[in-house]
Amino acid sequence: SGVMLFMVGMSKKMLLANPMGNLCTLMMADSGTLSAWVGAVAFSLQLYFDFSGYSDMARGLGRMLGFEFLPNFDYPYISRSVTEFWRRWHISLSTWFKEYVYIPLGGNRKGVARQILNIAIVWALTGFWHGASWNFLLWGVYYAVLLIFEKTFWLKLLQKLPRFVGHIYTVFVFVMGW
């Protein structure tokens, strides 16, 4: 089963991520609007299949050596909100920030204002975790703003709308965010 999981991961990397990366590079070289959108979607898919593939390869190697690691991705692009997406994407990192930063800061137990501050702190740190530069800090702020917007207003409305609306919203948000 470890060899099979490793091969699934390698297939994601070689057969899906690499061609998406090539398509992204090709489309981003063009100056057209449609090319930019196709390139952005291709980049989003490349990022997922690359990272998910490497995670599966690591889990497969671990299994071959007698270790069992939890999945790191749970079909994130089927999410219907940013909140759901981050529960499904890079689960190990999200769990670490939740358990070691968000909850010790008080999580959502100290009122809405403190919850908003805690979300902002966690996502600023998540941005810096990805790289110590302004673009990563802004990336973290982007998701902090979206998560705060969802927690305070949008999720309640989103649950009343047809499912496809949430899915389109989430995919759009992440294609723009990557």
Active centre residues (catalytic): 130
| Cα–Cα distance, 42 to 152 (Å, whole number) | 32
Helix axes 134-149, 112-130, angle to 10 degrees: 150
* CA contacts within 13 A on the Cβ side of 82: 22
172-175-176 Cα angle (round to 5): 85
Nearest-angstrom CA–CA distance, 155 and 80: 10
Distances (CA, A) of 62 to 13, 73, 88, 159: 18, 16, 21, 39
